[in-house]
Amino acid sequence: MSRIVFALMWLVHGLPFRALTAIGNGVGALLYWLIPERRRVTRINLEKCFPVMLPAERERLARGAFRCFCRAFVDRAVLWWGSPERIRAMVRLEGLEHLRAAGEHVIVLAPHFAGLDAAGIRLSMEGNLSSLYSHQKDPVLDRLLLKSRTRFQPHIVSRQQGLRKVLRWIKDGIPFYYLPDLDFGRKGTTFVPFFGVPAATATGLSAIARSTGAQVVPCVARMLPHGGYVAQFYPAWRDFPSGDEKTDARRMMAFIEERVLEMPEQYHWLHKRFKTRPEGEPRFY
């Protein structure tokens, strides 16, 4: 089945961006009803994070999250098979001066918004970049994701292999594109609020910054209404790390909360963000 899906993606990868947007939105609207488990997870996440929001508004937001997720997946056809010129046309970089001003050792904090992969691959075209990836259960998808993320830079390692290579790359002056805002379990995490809900949050950002002396430069990719993305870089964080991993994790999640409020439908609500609970608390899912 996956081979058929990817064959269809290859067939449409040269279409105008507006057409790809329409396809992605249509697929998202369909899958909202065809994948009840992810629909349930999305609804629970939104109810926990926005309890005072009207149910009809949360439902609209849930549908929008599916459309954005599927739009981003369809757009991967351009990232996988499109020319460098077409990728540059699809993803605009703004605020690169903040990345260049951060110095030799840099961590690019990239939260899980819909344009995450588009921004990362576009940034890798500007020069060396390192990143982590997670193995996928589908071997065809796994190969395609790995191939796309190494099209323009070879510095990538699986999450299962750990951070040893990443630390060396950062010290060698290769920026690290880091995605630490999902629920990765209890190991290496602390509980901090995400929209008021205790969320298991990785402490790796402050640990890596402390180990390498790297500056943290956030990058958030915004999906545009009629196709394409803008990847916005923010000034490097001052006084980070603070010396307290919980304080640092809370700072990261507070920054992400601010960006979520700017474009709530584009965050990755389909993920079980609150799967890991503090001891004694009931499960959400």
151 vs 168: CA distance, rounded Å: 21
pLDDT value of residue 1: 74
**In sequence order, which residues have a C-beta less than 8 Å from that of residue 44 and are 6 or more positions away?**
274, 284, 285
Tell me the per-residue pLDDT of 97-131, one tens digit each, with 9 for 90 and over: 999 999 999 999 999 999 999 999 999 999 889 98
Q: Name the token pair of 108.
A: 């690019």
pLDDT value of residue 10: 87
Tell me the per-residue pLDDT of 73-89, one tens digit each, with 9 for 90 and over: 999 999 989 999 999 99
- One DSSP character per residue, 225-271 reads TTS-EEEEE-PPPSS-S-S-HHHHHHHHHHHHHHHHHHSGGGB-TTS
Helix count (H) and strand count (E) of the chain? 11, 9
pLDDT value of residue 150: 77
Backbone angles phi, psi at 21, to 5 degrees: -60, -45
Rounded to two decimals, the pTM is 0.94
Residue ranges of domains in the chain: 2-266
Cβ–Cβ under 8 Å, residues 129 and 123: yes
pLDDT value of residue 72: 97
| Under-50 pLDDT residues of the chain | none
**What rounded mean pLDDT belongs to the chain?**
93
pLDDT value of residue 88: 97
